[in-house]
Structure 1
Amino acid sequence: MGFPGTWMTESESVVYRVVPKCACSTIGQIMFFSDHGKFFDGDIHDADSGMHKWAFEDSQPKITENVQGHKSYAFTCVRNPYTRILSSFFDKICGIQRNGRRYRGNLVPLLIQKYGIEVGSPEDGFEFDQIKSFRRFLLFARDTIRWRRPMDPDIHWSAMSGHVSTFILNGGTYDNIFWTEKFNEGMQSVLDAIETPVGVKLDKVPRFNESEGHGPKRAHPVEDYFDDLSMHLVYEIYKKDFQLFKYDFEDPSNKMPVAEIDLDEVHAKLGE
């Protein structure tokens, strides 16, 4: 199985387990800059050199040796499950992707047909009932995660604990897990703990939000999208995420964590 979703700087200063929809574009660019003194020109997910990624065959032995020997500082970043699933819906389901097409080709037509979801289009200014459509999307997300139908779960809405656990199960150890909601503080704690070929001044780093601007804007506060049934579905899907990463299940309007992440607990519960 190895270490899917793991990135490492060429200098091996740091190892990062990507969790989709959790500031991964910005983190990847910071890692790239810390080796090369410049940002990658384009989406860091498209970079095929200048960084080790598990997706590259040549990088796999280097990543495996480093992670299993815990040679470098290893970290990941997580996000409130309510805002993460909402972001996935607006980006992947409603948005037009970088290639100018809908995400995963036939996925959106399938959702329109089977779940009655509306997504709008650039032509109509993305006019549709966002709350009704999102709640139907939640049913679909639950079906993919719980029963793997009508398709396997997508990385953008599968549980963060699942992404985080593969690293542990194959012999990796995290030195740091921080929250997207406290990004500067968390990323600074990583930079303070490592030595990079090029210094990084966080306040000078732009935010690389690759999903911005190609879909509808969220028209309502986060909590409006989640009624009692939606909250139940979210808890069914993301129970471990709320518990391990210390987010507030009871209040969708509170995106901030409510306690500190216990790394020992994360390793114990996700390493079983």
Structure 2
Amino acid sequence: MGFPGTWMTQSNSVAYRVIPKCACSTIGQIMYYSDHGEFFDGDVHDATSGIHKWGIEESKQNIIDRMRAQDTYTFTCVRNPYTRILSSFFDKICGIQRNGNYYRGNMVPKLIAQYGIENTGDFDQIKSFRRFLLFARDTIRFRRPMDPDIHWSSTSGHASTLIVNGGRYNKIITTENFKEGMKDVMKNVDAKHELDIDTMPRFNESEGHGPKRAHPVADYFDDLSIHLVYEIYKRDFDMFGYDWQDPSRKEPIKEIDLDMVHAVLGD
């Protein structure tokens, strides 16, 4: 399998396992800047040079060597499952993507028809999101009507591939404490160019794709929705310390135990 979703600076100073909807655009830009002294001009996901990526054939062997040697500082970033699945809904289901089309072509019209989701105009965001949640659960638990998408697949599932294939995380940070986490990461990186995390721009390439969230996070989750989210993301809550019983509680309630993460996700 190798190391899908892994990015690394060209200087081999730091490696990062991408987890969608968890500040990956900003992290990629920080890595790019640390090598080049400037941000990538555009969406860093589109970069095909200036940074190593598993998706770039010429980068693969270098990533394999560094991950299996475990001699490059390696980290990832996770997010509260409630805000992550909500963000996926507004971006990927309600939003028009950069190419001017719905995400994944006919997927959105198909699930709108099958699940009764509305996504345009003055629609009921809460009702439509809860129907989307059923769709996401069906893809993850039953792989129907399609395989799960990377944007709502579990964060622990993404993170596990690096461990299973011989890598090890030095740090796992959270989007909720992003600046502090990235500062800690960069303290351990021999960067060619220093970057002030506090004053740097925020890169959110999905911002503006879809409608603004009209309600507080907790309003989207009734009792059934809470149990659906826990059913889908139980391992994420357990691994990364989030409170599954309270959707309004954004930040984790306990520290991430790296040894436990490696033991459980590497099994």
Alignment of 1:265 with 2:260, yes or no, is yes
The reply to whether residue 138 of structure 1 matches residue 122 of structure 2 is: no
Deviations 1:218-239 (A, max 9, x none): 0000000000111111001100
Distance, in Å, in 1 between the alignment partners of 2:248 and 2:199 is 30
**Pairing partner for 1:150 from 145, 155, 159:** 145
What are the ranges of 5 or more consecutive residues in structure 2 without an aligned counterpart?
none
Structure 1 counterpart of 2:49, one-letter code:
S
Which AA in structure 2 matches 1:47?
A: A
* Alignment of 1:239 onto 2:240: no
Note the C-alpha offset of 1:46: 0.4
Paired amino acid for 2:75: F
The runs of at least 4 aligned residues of structure 1 exceeding 2 Å deviation read: none
Matched to 2:220, the amino acid is Y
Q: Deviations over 1:11-61 (max 9, x none)?
A: 000000000000000000000000000000000000010000000111000
What does 1:52-201 correspond to in 2, within 5 Å?
52-120=52-120, 126-201=121-196
- Provide the rounded CA distance (Å) in 1 between the counterparts of 2:19 and 2:188: 21
Question: TM-score, normalised to structure 2's length?
Answer: 0.99
Aligned pairs for 1:20-39 within 5 A: 20-39=20-39
- Structure 2 counterpart of 1:123: none
Name which of structure 1's ranges 173-182 and 203-212 shifts more when overlaid on structure 2. 203-212
Letter matched to residue 45 of structure 2: H
In 2, the alpha carbon distance for the partners of 1:111 and 1:127 equals 19
Is it true that 1:220 corresponds to 2:215 in the alignment? yes
Amino acid at match of 1:199: E
Distance in 2, matches of 1:189 and 1:35, equals: 18
Q: Give the distance between the partners of 1:136 and 1:109, measured in 2 at CA.
A: 14
Q: Distance in 2 between matches of 1:201 and 1:216?
A: 31
For 1:243-254, list aligned pairs within 5 A: 243-254=238-249
**Partner Cα distance (1:243, 1:203) in 2:** 30
Q: Partners in 1 of 2:103 and 2:237 — Cα distance?
A: 27
User: Deviation of residue 111 (structure 1)?
Assistant: 1.1
Where does the alignment leave 5 or more consecutive residues of structure 1 unmatched? 121-125
Secondary structure at 2:187 match in 1: helix
Deviations 1:58-79 (A, max 9, x none): 1000000000001210000000
Identity %: 70
State the match for 2:41 in structure 1: 41
Q: CA deviation at 1:112?
A: 1.1
Deviation at 1:134, TM superposition (A): 0.3
Q: How many residues align?
A: 267
Aligned partner of 2:157: which letter? G
Give SS of 2:57's match.
Answer: coil
- Alpha-carbon distance in 1 for matches of 2:160, 2:65: 18
Partner of 1:11: 11
Q: Could you tell me how far apart the structure 1 residues matched to 2:113 and 2:70 are?
A: 48
